[in-house]
Structures are given as C-alpha cells and as structure tokens.
C-alpha cells in the first residue's frame, strides 16, 4: 500500500486488489449460503461481498478520515473473458429463435430510455438546475454506464456549461448499479410467484452451475485446457472485430467483439468437428467454460462494487436521492408490467426481467449477474442469455447515442 501525500489514504496495488476480490467473493458465497433469504431473492454472491467492502471503506472514510483506493486494472479483462464464454456457449440455432424477442426488447428499452430521460430532466428542473443536467441521471449514466458518462461529460461541461455534470453522472451510475443488483433477482422471484410460473429446471445453465449441483461438479483437465484455449482465441479475434467496427467510425464496448467472436468460434467448431476432436469437443469443455465464466463474472462484479466511493454522493445527495428513487420505481414498474408482458409472460420472460434492471439502471455485467443468480436457483434460460447481452452491449448503445444527441443540444 502506498500512502497519498494529501491525507491519510492508501492505494491498494492491482495484485492485492485482485486477491482481496477473491476473498470478498468467498465472503459473499459464505453469507449467501448462511442466509437463505439471499438465495430466495436471488441476490448475486458478488454483490454481497462487494458491498461489504464498499461499506467498510465508506465507514473508514467517515469515522477515521482514511481513504482507501483500489487499483482495479484486472477488472476489464475479466469482463472480456466472461463475454467470450457467453459467446462460446451460444448455439446459433438458439440465436435465430431469439430474433423476435431481441427486436421487442430493443423497442421496449428504447421507450424506457425516453421515459428515463424525461424523469431526469423534470427532476433537474424541479431542483432549479438546467433540465439537460437531468440527462446525466438518465440514460447517459444508467443505460449507458461509466463509459458513456465519461464520453459525454466534456460536451456538458464545455458546451452546455453544466460544471458538475461528470459528478452527477458518476454518482447516478453508482446508485443505479447497486439498485439494479438489489431489485433484479427479487423482481423475478415475485413475478414467478405471482403468475405461478414453472421454472425450466434445466441443469445446463449458461453461467456457472445450479446451487444444488455445485457439490457434484466434475471437471475434466483436458476440457478446461481446451476452454482456456478457445476463450483466449475469442479474445484475440474479438479485438480484431472491434478494430473492424472502429474503421467504420462505430466504437462499441470491447466485450461486444468478444461476444461475437465466441459465437463465431462455436459455430465454426461445430461445423468443422461436429463429433468433437482433440482441440474442439464442446461436451468436454462446456463445464470448463461455465466455471471460468462464473468466476470471471463474480470477480468482475465484486471489483466493481468494492471500488465504489460512496462518499462522493454527498455533494449531490438531495437531487440524487429524489431522482434515483423515481428512476428505480420507474424501472421496477416498467419491468413488471410492460417488459414481462411483452416478452411472453413465461419463465424466460421472468429471467429477462431480472436482467432488465441491468439495462435500465446498471450495466451489462449487472444484468447478467442478476440473470445468473436466477437460473442457478431455477434452471437454464438460453433465450434470455442471448437477447439481453446483445441488446445491452450492441444495439442499445447506438440508440442511446441518438437519443442523447437529440436531447443534449
């Protein structure tokens, strides 16, 4: 740990931060196993561990005037591995089946963004602020995430004259991500109880394994080695895919290329070696891919939450409290009464609803974490794990850019 010169502060180096994230994930798993209600309401284990750290760090800041900052360089690489694994686990036949659902969810997400921005702008006007500042507590930070917030901050500060736009956006994203983690799983459980939905019960879940199957998981050394090989190839190919998109002037999140590369490699492997071979055998490597994706997602979300600086909410506490309360209520109501209905009112729809909070309030990783917690309890939902990542990571960024450009003039 390296002390900062201006106050009692500590910088935790990348290796120590990564090691702490592993420990916190153990803490989250232990608390989830100990308290059944955490499983009942599908609270992700990583959220539990990450929030424990964030609350401890916040307490140190206020009680002892000590500031702890984590270097989280490994976080982004973990996300790339996770989405490469989602791609490898995707059968193109399932992708074709999800076409209609993808279009419907994109239209719903677009409509929600307009409502979301309307709430943010109305709240900003009510607090005597420039109405456009409310966009920073709308689709910029909540649907777009940290990257979109940082990208739009210079425009709001330099061209629109909203000096604290960056702080507003980052604070809204922070609250939104935590809220999305807390409401997604319970909302899915409530929908299943209210509508008496029968879960799939399928053991081949998309991320990790079902809770009751963890003790019986059997891994194959050769299969895990193959999984690592193809995941690395997906990351390398995904980088090339992103560079090709960049040549057209379209800049997408890095994980989009890895997701598409994984889908392409899975299709190529099944076409070239349908019965399996020495370097490609999906039945053998499936559990290895699932394990790696589960670990990477858990550590990514743990690191994202342990790095929250909750004290930074203090300067905008009043505006943020009112605005984010309205945004969370809007997201829950829209998901429960609109998204669930239009996505089919079945088990897949309930899983998609658990992830819609990630689209509306948090991030793609938050959406997947919520859905993972649900399927680990109730069984696989393959259509949800195709539709939500593609809407979150690919199409919604394009639509969001157009919406923001029209409103932030």
Q: pLDDT digit string (tens) for 326-352? A: 999 999 999 999 999 999 999 999 999
**Closest of 78, 20, 81, 86 to residue 54, by C-alpha:** 20
The predicted pLDDT at position 118 comes to: 94
The predicted pLDDT at position 212 comes to: 47
Question: Which tokens belong to 341?
Answer: 């209905």
Which of the two residues, 103 and 274, has the higher pLDDT score?
103
Task: Point out which residues pair with 10 in neighbouring strands.
Answer: 3, 68
Cβ pair 255, 79 in contact under 8 A = yes
Q: Using the 8-state DSSP alphabet, how is residue 199 labeled?
A: P
Best-predicted range by mean pLDDT (3-7, 83-87, 202-206, 347-351): 347-351
Which of the two residues, 186 and 199, has the higher pLDDT score?
186
Helices in 195-253 by DSSP H: which ranges? Answer: 221-247
The predicted pLDDT at position 114 comes to: 93
Residues of the chain with pLDDT > 90, as a percent, come to 28
Phi/psi-derived region of residue 64, left when phi > 0, alpha when psi is between -120 and 50, beta in every other case: alpha
Cβ pair 366, 102 in contact under 8 A = no
pLDDT tens-place string over residues 284-313: 888 889 889 888 888 988 888 888 777 877
The predicted pLDDT at position 22 comes to: 96
The enclosing H or E element of 132 equals: none
Q: Using the 8-state DSSP alphabet, how is residue 140 labeled?
A: T
Question: 282 vs 30, 212, 271, 289, 346, CA distance in Å?
Answer: 31, 23, 12, 9, 29
Q: Using the 8-state DSSP alphabet, how is residue 90 labeled?
A: -
Query: What's the CA gap between 238 and 232, in Å, rounded?
Result: 10
Residue 386: CB partners within 8 Å, gap ≥ 6? Answer: 90, 94, 95, 98, 102
pLDDT tens-place string over residues 22-45: 999 999 989 988 887 777 666 778
The predicted pLDDT at position 125 comes to: 93
Task: Tell me the average pLDDT across 120-147.
Answer: 87
**Closest of 342, 390, 306 to residue 16, by C-alpha:** 306
Residue 116: CB partners within 8 Å, gap ≥ 6? Answer: 138, 139, 142, 143, 327, 330, 331, 360
CA angle 24, 71, 148 (to 5 degrees): 100
Buried b or exposed e, range 152-190, using 16+ CB within 10 angstroms: bbeebeeebebebbbbbbbbbbbbbbbbbbbbbbbbbbb
**Closest of 317, 327, 7, 360 to residue 164, by C-alpha:** 317
Which of the two residues, 150 and 202, has the higher pLDDT score?
150
Cβ pair 296, 81 in contact under 8 A = yes
Dihedral sign, CA of 115, 119, 120, 122?
Answer: positive
Mean pLDDT of the chain: 83
Dihedral (Cα; 10, 47, 396, 152), 10-degree rounding: -20
Task: Tell me the average pLDDT across 361-386.
Answer: 82
The enclosing H or E element of 336 equals: none
Task: Tell me the average pLDDT across 85-113.
Answer: 80
The predicted pLDDT at position 215 comes to: 47
The predicted pLDDT at position 147 comes to: 59
Which of the two residues, 221 and 97, has the higher pLDDT score?
221
pLDDT tens-place string over residues 188-198: 989 999 998 88
3-state SS class at 205: coil
Which of the two residues, 189 and 203, has the higher pLDDT score?
189
The predicted pLDDT at position 123 comes to: 93
Residues of the chain with pLDDT > 70, as a percent, come to 88
């Amino acid at each position: 740990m390296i002390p900062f010169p201006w106050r009692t502060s500590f910088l935790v180096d990348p290796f120590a931060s990564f090691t702490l994230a592993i420990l916190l994930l153990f803490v989250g798993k232990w608390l989830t196993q100990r308290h059944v209600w955490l499983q009942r309401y599908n609270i992700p284990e990583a959220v539990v561990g990450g929030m424990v750290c964030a609350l401890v760090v916040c307490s140190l800041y206020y009680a002892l005037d000590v500031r702890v900052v984590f270097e989280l360089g490994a976080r982004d690489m973990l996300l790339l591995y996770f989405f490469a694994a989602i791609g490898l686990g995707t059968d193109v036949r399932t992708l074709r089946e999800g076409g209609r659902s993808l279009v419907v969810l994109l239209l719903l997400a677009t409509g929600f963004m307009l409502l979301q921005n309307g709430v943010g702008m109305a709240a900003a006007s009510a607090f005597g602020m420039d109405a456009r500042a409310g966009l920073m507590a709308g689709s910029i930070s909540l649907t777009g995430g940290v990257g979109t917030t940082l990208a739009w901050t210079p425009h709001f500060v330099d061209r629109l004259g909203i000096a604290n736009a960056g702080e507003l956006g980052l604070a809204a994203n922070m609250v939104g991500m935590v809220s999305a983690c807390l409401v997604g799983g319970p909302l899915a459980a409530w929908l299943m109880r209210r509508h008496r939905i029968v879960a799939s019960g399928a053991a081949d879940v998309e991320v990790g394994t079902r809770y009751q199957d963890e003790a019986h998981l059997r891994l194959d050394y050769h299969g895990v080695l193959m999984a690592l090989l193809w995941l690395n190839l997906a990351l390398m190919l995904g980088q090339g895919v992103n560079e090709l998109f960049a040549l057209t002037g379209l800049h997408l999140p890095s994980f989009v290329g890895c997701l598409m590369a994984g889908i392409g490699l899975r299709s190529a492997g099944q076409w070239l070696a349908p019965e399996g071979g020495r370097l490609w055998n999906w039945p053998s490597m499936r559990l290895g891919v699932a394990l790696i994706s589960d670990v990477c997602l858990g550590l990514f979300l743990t690191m994202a939450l342990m790095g929250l600086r909750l004290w930074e909410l203090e300067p905008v506490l009043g505006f943020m409290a009112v605005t984010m309360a309205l945004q969370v209520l809007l997201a829950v109501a829209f998901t429960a009464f609109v998204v669930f209905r239009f996505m089919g009112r079945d088990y897949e729809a309930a899983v998609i609803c658990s992830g819609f909070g990630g689209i509306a309030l948090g991030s793609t990783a938050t959406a997947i974490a919520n859905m993972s917690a649900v399927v680990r309890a109730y069984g696989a939902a393959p259509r949800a794990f195709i539709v939500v990542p593609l809407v979150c990571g690919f199409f919604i960024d394009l639509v969001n850019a157009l919406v923001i450009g029209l409103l932030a003039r």
